[in-house]
A and B are shown apart, each in its own frame.
Chain A
Amino acid sequence: MSSTAAGWLQVALLVVALVAVHKPLGDWMARVFTTDAAPDPAPEGPKSRLLPRGHWRVERLVYRAVGVDADSEQRWPVYLRSVLAFSLVSVLFLYLLQRVQQWLPLDHEMAAVEPGSAWNTAVSFVTNTNWQGYSGESTMGHLVQMAGLAVQNFVSAGVGIAVAIALVRGFARSGTDRLGNFWVDLTRAITRVLLPLATVAAVVLVLGGVVQNLSSGTDANTLAGATQFLPGGPVASQEAIKELGTNGGGFYNANSAHPFEGPSAWISLFQVFLLLVIPFSLPRTFGRMVGDRRQGLAIVGVMAGLATASLALTSWAQARAGGAALQLAGAATEGQEVRFGGPLSALFGTATTLTSTGAVNSMHDSYTPTGGMLVLANMMLGEVAPGGVGSGLYGMLVLAVVAVFVAGLMVGRTPEYLGKKLGRREMTLASLYVLVTPVLVLTGTAIAVVTDTGLSSLLNSGSHGLSEVLYAFTSASNNNGSAFAGLSANTPFYNTALGLAMAFGRFLPIVLVVALAGRLAVQGKAPVTAGTLPTHQPLFVGLLGAVVLVVVGLTYFPALALGPLAEALA
């Protein structure tokens, strides 16, 4: 079988698996976030008696420990304050944990993490970015990995889901100032979605060869008579949630390319499935909760269309092996593992940058010029195809609001989406959302390339050097976390600047989204008339796809032209 044919069969298997799982998982999540007491419309929720509908006993214990009334709902400012308070506490705790790890058990003689790096890493994992300026196997003891980093892998994904659900409730509800209870949403996202799925995934990973132990490592005496250190660690448990929560922070420096994280090709493909499954299921949840599954189908259609186009282009570019060095070698195998091969590497690279994952099974810095540009462009689209866990859905819904507004301008009517009028305040929030990340990316890159300290970290020079910096700020601001890893980012400048980009890139959009959700929920529902733009038909799918590409993509064209595009054409 040719490599190309095998490559597309891999994609076919992945698509079949996603199609099969998105329905039950999407429906399940809709049920999870539609409580009995809440005034959610759940006209056709599946009725299963296997699990109780209200709070689970273990959840009641959690609510008691946290000290919240799980049956009272929050207005949007309180919901937002809960999100921000939880994230702030998380950053402080994770920072502290890294700074004192040498005094804690399971540190494996790792020293305290440097303050700059500890700040960067704390923000990185709390914001679901998992940008890693450090090298896992030589910096983090097992306790920090488990009790610090992996915990944030769960809860940052939970926060993403909670915010997305709040926005969906904004559309689904009318005439109320209540958005739900953040603590309940966060708890349920973990007890009913992330933890069960991660447990199953971790077992599969172990069976596939991913390590799971508490050893500090083994010294092997190699055949050639040298000594080789073989690291240990509770990797599978962390790997599972790293992909499932679209986090992406590798236990080891080489991430999922490391044979202990990605031991075989089928495991790598399984990881691609894990990182796509929740983002591709959430539109179904959305459709269910707003009482019209076709709306979810339209959203997932745009996501799938963009993803397919990006994958086809990247696979083609990587197979062509552009770039002087790769031409000379004969294939784009630099930074690539033999067991994965070209097509699976391109698939992983595409999936990880289209979501907010940032895990890698091959090194993006060594991709062909066009391939490298495409994974960069994937992130620039705002990670909405399908995007991160939760953040992908709320990002796409904001863009849908913009698309409806654009359509409204064309025909001269007040734009409405799902019966909600989009007035000046709503559009202001949506527009600010769209502007936040480009401002962070372009400002950050500009500052880096005009300062000596910014330029001194570059491994490659010329246009590829610019790409390294552009990639770093794009990755941080979009909370992706993958890197053109030639950039030596563990410096005071990059630790600080990228830390700020990650924090603003995560929380400014969340503030805007929760505020938007609050405004939408208080509105009544406008009746559908002959003049209402149908938002479940191919016309709207095409319009939304175009809005994503034009509004977001073109923002970055000048920067892309100077970096990867210049390199591809050179």
Chain B
Amino acid sequence: MSALRSGRQLVAAVRALLVATVVLGLAYPLLMTGVAQLIAPARADGSLVSVDGSVVGSSLIGQSFTDSDGEPLPEYFQTRPSASSYDGAASGGSNLGPNSEELVAAVGERRAEVAAFTEVSESEVPADAVTSSGSGLDPDISPEYAAIQVERVAEARGVPVDDVQALVDEHTDGRDLGFIGAPHVRVLELNLALDEQLG
């Protein structure tokens, strides 16, 4: 008798799951995809940025501005260190602990590298420049990290510092609504603007 009743519940369970799969697993996401493509197609497709018809990236996804040997390009604002080297197919952080010797060494090395490359003292290098993000795809840097890079970029491009600074200001967002999150500089869009306006 008990087995029979359990059997009845199992049959109901199979049917319920099938209904749920059709409604919640197919109808709902497909409907939402349709709605999204209707109301905000660019955002729904990943806020892609194109130059001359070719996709150069997403304004939401960070990328590295290094040459083929992995050396940073001085004419571009540099993004943060990334545990996944900005590989869009492998997001994630370093997951190193706060006392990890590996992380201590990495932070020290990066600090020295950034200071030398940007020609500032090590104490001027902000924290986001020497730590990797949670996603490995952080599109932003702090205004402090942008500030120390302005002179280097201007020099590498042979343009006035003020012009570069103006573009940095243009691509700096404060906190949402004035208090949510943290101020940040959108690096891909900034670097694109540099190429377009200060070639």
Contacts and interface: CB of A to CB of B under 8 A. Distances in A.
30 contacts: A1-B178, A6-B178, A10-B179, A66-B19, A86-B9, A135-B92, A138-B89, A146-B26, A151-B25, A195-B28, A208-B43, A211-B44, A220-B57, A221-B56, A223-B57, A224-B67, A234-B33, A254-B134, A257-B133, A259-B137, A268-B181, A324-B98, A328-B111, A334-B93, A334-B131, A335-B95, A336-B131, A339-B138, A363-B95, A365-B95
A9 B66 CA distance: 39
Contacts of A148: 25
A237 interface: yes
B60 interface: yes
A186 interface: yes
A502 to B, nearest CB: 19
B62 to A, nearest CB: 8
Nearest to B72: A224
B96 A230 contact: no
A9 B108 CA distance: 34
B166 interface: no
B99 interface: yes
Given A82-B9, A230-B61, A459 B96 contact: yes
Given A147-B21, A328-B107, A464-B99, A224 B63 contact: yes
Contacts of A334: 93-94, 96, 98, 103, 131-132
Interface string B134-166: 111111111000000000000000000000000
Contacts of B179: 1, 5-6, 9-10, 13
Given A236-B44, A260-B61, A341-B182, A203 B35 contact: yes
Given A6-B175, A223-B76, A339-B184, A323 B36 contact: no
Nearest to A214: B33
A263 B20 contact: no
B107 A325 contact: yes
B116 interface: no
Given A150-B25, A337-B133, A485-B93, A206 B44 contact: yes
A207 B98 contact: no
Nearest to A90: B17
Nearest to A58: B23
Contacts of B58: 220, 230, 259-260
A434 B16 CA distance: 31
A322 interface: yes
B188 interface: yes
A485 B96 CA distance: 9
Nearest to A261: B135
Contacts of B39: 203, 206-207
Nearest to B15: A66
B97 A333 contact: no
Given A66-B16, A206-B35, 12 more contacts: A85-B10, A150-B24, A150-B29, A213-B37, A237-B28, A253-B90, A254-B92, A254-B135, A328-B108, A336-B134, A366-B94, A567-B98
Interface stretch (A43-51, A367-375, A517-525, A543-551): A367-375
A340 B182 contact: yes
A103 interface: no
Nearest to A61: B19
A223 B188 contact: yes
A372 B20 CA distance: 37
Interface in A183-235: 183, 186, 190, 195, 198-199, 202-203, 206-215, 217-226, 228-232, 234
B13 A485 contact: no
Contacts of A570: 99
Nearest to B43: A209
Contacts of B180: 6, 10, 13, 265-266, 269, 344
Nearest to A362: B134
Contacts of B37: 212-213
Interface in B104-143: 104, 106-108, 111, 126-128, 130-142
Contacts of A336: 131, 133-134
A350 interface: no
A463 to B, nearest CB: 9
A558 interface: no
B99 A234 contact: no
Given A86-B13, A237-B33, A223 B191 contact: yes
A228 B63 contact: yes
A213 to B, nearest CB: 5
A328 B104 CA distance: 7
Given A337-B140, A372-B98, A460-B96, A331 B56 contact: no
Interface in A1-38: 1, 3, 5-6, 9-10, 13
A199 B24 CA distance: 11
A215 B181 contact: no
Contacts of B76: 223-224
B115 to A, nearest CB: 13
Contacts of B86: 228
A73 interface: no
A460 B100 contact: yes
Contact of B63 (A78, A223, A263, A266): A223
Which of B5, B11, B43, B95 lies at the interface centre, i.e. has the most chain A CB atoms within 10 A of its CB?
B95
A86 B26 contact: no
Contacts of A93: 17, 21
B181 A344 contact: yes
B135 A258 contact: yes
A530 interface: no
B169 interface: no
A362 to B, nearest CB: 5
A65 interface: yes
A227 to B, nearest CB: 10
Nearest to B176: A266
A288 B135 CA distance: 42
A224 B64 contact: yes
A325 B181 contact: no
Contacts of B104: 324-325, 328
Interface in B176-199: 176-182, 184, 188, 191-192, 195
Contacts of A102: none
Contacts of B18: 65
Contacts of A195: 24, 28
B135 A337 contact: yes
Nearest to B133: A337
A387 to B, nearest CB: 23
Interface string B29-65: 1101101110110011111100000111110111111
Interface string A110-138: 00000000000000000000000001011
